[in-house]
Every structure is written in C-alpha cells, then in structure tokens.
C-alpha cells in the first residue's frame, strides 16, 4: 500500500523552543513498565509545575483489553507509587486523569490504527489539541517496524495539506542490536517520518549534569582553553551499578553490557565531552559536532582486541554488606553463560584536539558502588618544586563531572598544609545541584518530554550518530560472540571489575579511579 508523503519540520528557533502548543501524546505500549514508572509520572509532574500546554491529552495504545477507566485507575496507582502517599495530590490528579484515554489494538493491524486515528480526531477536538500528535514507542523493539509502518499506512504521520499541525515520533533504546539492524530501522523510519520529526530518546541526555557539560565548558573561559591534548592526560567515563541484573536477566542474556550501555549512554557522554564547540546551540549544530567525534574515533584493531576492550561477568560476592549470587546462578540465565555484565574500552580520537589522549570507558553490574561520572585527568606538572618527591604528586588535577547520584562537579587540586614545612595536601571544590538550587532537579524524562513538545531535538540522537556508534562497537560484539569467554565469572560482586580491566589501563601507566 502506498505510504503518504513525509512532512519535514522546520528546526525550532530559540523563541519556538519556549512556546508550547496543544498536543496529544499517543503512548504505544501503554500498559508496560516504562509507561508506569517514567512516562506518565513525568507528564503528571510537568502538569503540577505548570509546564504542560493548557490543551493536551494522552492516549494509551496497547494489546491489553483495558478501557479508559481501567487505564486511568492503573496510572493513578503508578503516579501514587512514584510520588509517595503523602505527596500524591488527589485534586490535581483528577484534572490530569480527565485527559487520559485508552484504546486496545494490535500493532500490526491496519484497522486498529484507523480506529486510533478516529479516536485521536475526537480527543483532539475535545481537548483542543490542534491535531498535533506525538507517537511514543514504549514497546519492545520487535514491534517498532509494525507501529511505524501502520502510522504511515493510515496517514497519521503527516498533517493535512496547508495546515499548521505537527507530528513527531519518539523511539526508545535499544535502537537496533548491531549496525545492520540499526541501519534497517533507520531506513524504515525514513520511509514514513522525516529526520526532523524523529526523536531517538536516551534518558542520560536529560540529566541536568549531562546538559550542563557544554555550559560548563563553553560558558567558563577558564576551562575551555584546557580542554585539549596540551593539558589533558586522559579521560575516564564510568557507569557502575551496585545492583545485579535483577529482573532483567532474560534481557541481559540477549544484550550484555556493551549493547546495553556503550552504544547509547557511554558514547553519548563521550561525544559531549570530546566534541568541538558548535557554531550555534541548536540540534543540528550540536548533533554535527557529536557525529564528528565518532567519525574521528579510531576503529578498534580486532587483532589486538584484548588490549583495547575487556569483558567480565560477576560471580558471587558481597555488595554493601549483603551477599549476592553470581550472574550464572540467576534462574533466567544459562548456567554456563558467557554474556558480559562488565565491559571496558579504550578509545582514541584522531583529531587536532585529542590526538594522543586516551578515553577509558567502563560499565558493569554488581559493582562496589552505583555511580556515573566523567573524570578529566590533567597532566602532571612539568617540574617538581618545593623538594617534592614523585610520591607526593601521584594525583594530578582533575575535573570530575558527577552524573549520578548527587549530580554536580568537583575540581581537585593541591594546597599547602599548615605548618613550618611545605607539605602538599589534596583538596576539592565541590558543587552539587540539590544544595545550590534548594531542591530536586527535574527527572530526565520530564526534560526530554518537554523538549519533544517544544520541537527541540538537541538532546536526541541523529540517525547518522546512531550508525557511527554501532559501527564502532559491532565488531567488538561480533568478536566476543564468536569467541566465548573461558574464564567467566572473572570478578566478584561488590568489586570494581575484573583484573583484566586493571591491566588494560595499567599498560598505559594509569589506573582506574575509585569514586
């Protein structure tokens, strides 16, 4: 069947980004965990803060045989659980709930999408949404193609001729399993939606500290001149979890740490830290600079893979005083599974700014602490003064960007201790959002949902970036899958990872930070 013509959106200007127009948000997979835990609670908080447009509606679409009344009751329970019994405001919820609607349907059935189009027309008229639609795919990736195809078949992706309304599609990770599947999905989307209408969401980019990386660099003249190979020795990016795979063991058996964390979260942080300043601060300019980083990243030499990439899997151990079973002991994993729950990677960027500066990325489950941080480690001073010995200057200056928990920044440097002799003492200047701004920062989903409604794609991944990211890590994944690990498990739960990861960075005369 012929698919209707796509309609590209104009990039949002600074003024347009501040304006919100009425819209209807269609959540596919509306009965799922992500909708309950993140999407609907975030939208409710935005309404409580007066940040949603006055005219909006939410339409849930799922295979479950619910109706609107059941959907409203289920979402009320989800929001109450998110807010806590004392923080849940019944009157505010009642106003919000009137804007919730539901339709049951199958993702591959054209007739059900015609029913959805009819419901949207009614809802749009009832709530004065102006026929502006957001299609949020909170579904398993296996049905992304079905949903996108049916939206095109029934014409929901385009606006009527000569009309002002807009249409946008939001796609959750994982965006493909490798380069080939990501390219195929990009092509399927491009057959229906223009790139300007497409929002590939990564919740890490909605975190306040991540958004502040560019402000920190580019709005403070004391930092940007140091952000290069002349002053930076290396960069470490860590995303560790103290929890194991928990209820996600089945997913992890298919995915693993490299697919789950590197292709999206860690490479996004890597791109933001390493990118050159954009010409202007908008989605196209920022996206172009992030793509340049991945284009300049040196491919991993597979003949020396163990010197550039390390994998690990946790065994039994103790995490924060509690005994934890090993990954292979989970009932949803194979007893002899060689799926990695930890990965570390060394990357080099072959450009003028970063030539010779290694970037070390690591992520793992069941580790000593839950923390996500970026550490910019500066070079040592060129000459030791004050009669210092090499042992006195083991820790050079560093800027640490804390993504979670306790979002903020710290600058680590050295001062003289009080006394008659010169003794050097390390100190830190710390900033955290909660203390300074007297309250909790908005959740990542609140930020990203608001940006989608504004038409601001700055914090969303471009199709080209997605393909470069997969192109970087797919050869590693394929090499690991074709050569099963023989030493798993190779790190204890509650540790900082396998000894092979320590050896990876030690070869360069460096060591991992212990946050």
Structural domain spans, the chain: 14-200, 205-378+462-506
Per residue in 43-96, pLDDT tens? 999 998 889 988 999 999 999 999 999 999 999 999 988 876 556 778 889 999
Sign of CA dihedral 369, 374, 377, 378: negative
**How far is 68 from 193, CA to CA, in rounded Å?**
29
Q: What share of the chain is helix, strand, coil (3-state, %, to 5)?
A: 40, 20, 40
Query: According to the CATH classification, is domain 205-378+462-506 in 3.30.360.10?
Result: yes
Q: Looking at the DSSP assignment, which residues form a beta bridge with residue 323? A: 318
Strand spans (E) along 96-143: 100-104, 133-137
The answer to whether 207 and 404 have CB atoms below 8 angstroms apart is: yes
**How far is 185 from 179, CA to CA, in rounded Å?**
10
**How far is 502 from 344, CA to CA, in rounded Å?**
10
pLDDT of residue 17: 45
Distance of CA 474 to the CA centre of its chain: 19
The answer to whether 469 and 175 have CB atoms below 8 angstroms apart is: no
- Residue 2's alpha-carbon distances to 115, 152, 192, 342, in angstroms, are 19, 9, 11, 46
**How far is 425 from 418, CA to CA, in rounded Å?**
10
In the chain, which residues have pLDDT < 50? 1-5, 7, 12-17
Phi, psi for 360 (deg, rounded to 5): -110, 120
Q: Which of 234, 265, 348, 425 is catalytic?
A: 265
Per residue in 364-400, pLDDT tens? 999 999 999 999 999 987 766 666 555 555 578 899 9
Residue with structure tokens 């929002």?
199
The answer to whether 14 and 285 have CB atoms below 8 angstroms apart is: no
**How far is 415 from 422, CA to CA, in rounded Å?**
10
The answer to whether 508 and 307 have CB atoms below 8 angstroms apart is: no
**Crossing angle for the helix pair 208-218 and 267-274, to the nearest 10 degrees:** 20
The answer to whether 266 and 274 have CB atoms below 8 angstroms apart is: no
Active site residue 101: no
pLDDT of residue 10: 52
**How far is 5 from 192, CA to CA, in rounded Å?**
7
pLDDT of residue 5: 46
pLDDT of residue 410: 87
Q: Which CATH class is domain 14-200?
A: alpha beta
pLDDT of residue 122: 95
What's the chain's length in residues? 515
């Amino acid at each position: 069947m012929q698919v209707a013509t796509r309609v590209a959106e104009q990039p949002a200007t600074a003024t347009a980004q501040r304006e919100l127009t009425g819209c209807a948000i269609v959540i596919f997979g509306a009965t799922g965990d992500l909708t309950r835990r993140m999407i609907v609670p975030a939208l409710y908080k935005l309404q409580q803060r007066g940040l949603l447009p006055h005219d909006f509606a939410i339409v849930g679409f799922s295979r479950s045989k619910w109706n609107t009344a059941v959907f409203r009751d289920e979402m009320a329970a989800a929001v109450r659980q998110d807010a806590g019994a004392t923080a849940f405001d019944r009157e505010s919820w009642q106003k919000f709930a009137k804007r919730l609607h539901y339709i049951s349907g199958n993702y591959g059935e054209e007739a059900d999408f015609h029913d959805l189009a009819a419901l949207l027309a009614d809802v749009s008229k009832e709530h004065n949404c102006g026929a502006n639609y957001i299609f949020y795919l909170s579904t398993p990736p296996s049905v992304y193609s079905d949903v996108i195809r049916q939206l095109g078949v029934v014409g929901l992706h385009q606006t009527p001729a000569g009309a002002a309304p807009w249409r946008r599609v939001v796609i959750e990770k994982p965006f493909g399993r490798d380069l080939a599947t990501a390219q195929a999905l990009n092509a399927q989307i491009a057959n229906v939606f223009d790139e300007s209408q497409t929002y590939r969401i990564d919740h890490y980019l909605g975190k306040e500290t991540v958004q502040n990386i560019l402000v920190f660099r580019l709005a403070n003249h004391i930092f940007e001149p140091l952000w290069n190979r002349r002053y930076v020795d290396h960069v470490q990016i860590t995303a560790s979890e103290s929890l194991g795979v928990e209820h996600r063991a089945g997913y992890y058996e298919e995915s693993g740490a490299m697919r789950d964390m590197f292709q999206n979260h860690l490479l996004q942080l890597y791109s933001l830290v390493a990118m050159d300043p954009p010409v202007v601060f908008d989605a196209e300019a920022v996206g172009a600079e992030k793509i340049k980083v991945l284009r300049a990243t040196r491919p991993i030499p597979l003949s020396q893979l163990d010197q550039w990439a390390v994998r690990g899997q946790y065994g039994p151990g103790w995490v924060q005083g509690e005994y934890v079973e090993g990954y292979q002991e989970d009932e949803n994993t194979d007893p002899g599974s060689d799926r990695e729950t930890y990965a570390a990677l060394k990357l080099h960027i072959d450009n003028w700014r970063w030539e010779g500066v290694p970037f070390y990325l690591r992520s793992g489950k069941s580790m000593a602490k839950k923390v996500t941080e970026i550490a910019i480690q500066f070079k040592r001073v060129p000459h030791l003064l004050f009669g210092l010995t090499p042992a006195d200057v083991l820790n050079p200056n560093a800027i640490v960007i804390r993504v979670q928990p306790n979002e903020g920044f710290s600058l680590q440097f050295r001062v003289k201790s009080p006394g008659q002799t010169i003794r050097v003492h390390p100190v830190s200047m710390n900033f955290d959002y909660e203390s300074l701004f007297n309250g909790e920062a908005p959740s990542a989903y609140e930020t990203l949902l608001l940006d989608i409604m504004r038409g601001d794609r700055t914090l969303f991944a471009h199709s080209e970036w997605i393909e470069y990211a997969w192109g970087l890590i797919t050869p590693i994944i394929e090499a690991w899958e074709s050569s099963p690990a023989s030493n798993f498990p190779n790190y204890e739960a509650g540790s900082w990872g396998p000894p092979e990861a320590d050896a990876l960075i030690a070869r360069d005369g460096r060591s991992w930070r212990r946050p």
